[in-house]
Structure 1
Amino acid sequence: MDINGASALVTGGASGIGAAVARRLAAEGARVVVADLNDTAGEALAAEIGGAFVHVDVTDTDQIKAAVDRATELGPLRVLVNSAGIGWAQRTVGRDGEYDSAHDLDAYKKVIAINLIGTFDAIRLAATAMGRTEPLENGERGAIVNMASAAAFDGQIGQAAYSSSKGGVVGMTLPVARDLAAIGVRVNTIAPGLIDTPIYGEGEASEAFKAKLGESVLFPKRLGVPDELASMVVECATNSYMNGETVRVDGGIRMPPK
């Protein structure tokens, strides 16, 4: 699918993997809407790539609609990338055996609300807009790429909330692809492994920690970089025969329990 001159919406697009995706899509000729909570970083990136920024909390349907509408102003909306998400780590039960020390239920709901429900909300709204566009060759109208995680398959101790949310994204990929086939929209999901993003901090201690983490990767023995994820996003978006699939981009790692 040719995305040159089309618009693309990237949630969580102001930093990390989302920012790398936004830059890659812009390099392919797409007009990119960066949707994020970070106004400063988002506006700077949008200016850099000749796109637009919209402040978006993915738990707010109206804000997602505003981002979709902005994208349709820039060109026919052909691509949605769901990269917004948060992490959380807490064991299911506490060490003292008390109810109050069990996993924070509100935290669990928040992770699901952002990572899973926010992803589906963006899909249903962006796909609706894609369905209004003129079809391309073979009836294609657009492509959706979700960002899951290797934790969807090998969740570690304390990752019940995060793995549930990302497992849900993986689980809905095929049924949503089947739904959207009727309007010519493809759906794929990428499951990253350990990726070098700002979450690990900066400095000598941070670099040493990342190097240690990288030793657990099958090959190459390092953390991945955001552009390696962005490359796969572009492939999923532009390869018209790629549909209904989840692809691990993780250097062959299989996460241990902890």
Structure 2
Amino acid sequence: MTYRLYYWDGLQGRGEFVRLALEEAGADYVEVTRGDEAAGLGTGAMMARLGSKDEAYPPFAPPFLQDGELIVSQTANILFYLGPKLGLAPRDEGLRYVANGLQLTIADMVTEAHDTHHPLAGNLYYEDQKDAAKVRASDFIDHRIPKFMRYFERVMKQNPASEDFLVGDALTYVDLSMFQLIDGLMYAFPRATKRFGTQYPKLAALHDRVIARPRIAAYLASDRRLPHNEACVFRHYPELDKTAR
């Protein structure tokens, strides 16, 4: 059955973490907001789902995934659901909870990356909080990126099954999400991440291995892969970027 992915058209955002898993698995899916409204798709279809007063347990916000009659919301929860179905979760059930914990930690860092350009309020424009954003971004570059990345680098080094992956002995959705996190940071903070490969060699190698995977490489070269932009989670504002200490 075809999966239906609901996320904002024109944005990678948090939906990209789900797209990467679907693309790597070669899964059959439809990006609802990028579809034809005449076929019951488009942004209006997503908004109708979000605003439904008849549906039990409506999602709060995108991304959310429809599989038959089931609606699964929240990025980490979607990936926890999809992982075993797509062959992108550890075979060991206990390690699936480890993977979910790592995914939630990635989600924490994504939120902090977003808050570098919206440190005061999500409803304010970036231009209304630029001074606060400079303070937040400086702290993020000097303290938060190293704290998170040192942790993830250590997780790879201490993985008893394989130092090539974050959890278990084969690629999982967590590895794909780590690629996206690193890719987003490199876009948003090119100066701060200039020495990423020497500072975090195992994570950098994982990033490059994901790019080289045939289905991911084909996806990244296609028009299905939306470009980074300044309406998204990871935004490049030169005034917020600086060389890491």
Q: Of Structure 1 and Structure 2, which has the larger fraction of its residues in helix?
A: 2
Q: Of Structure 1 and Structure 2, which has the larger fraction of its residues in strand?
A: 1
Structure 2 length-normalised TM: 0.34
Structure 1 length-normalised TM: 0.33
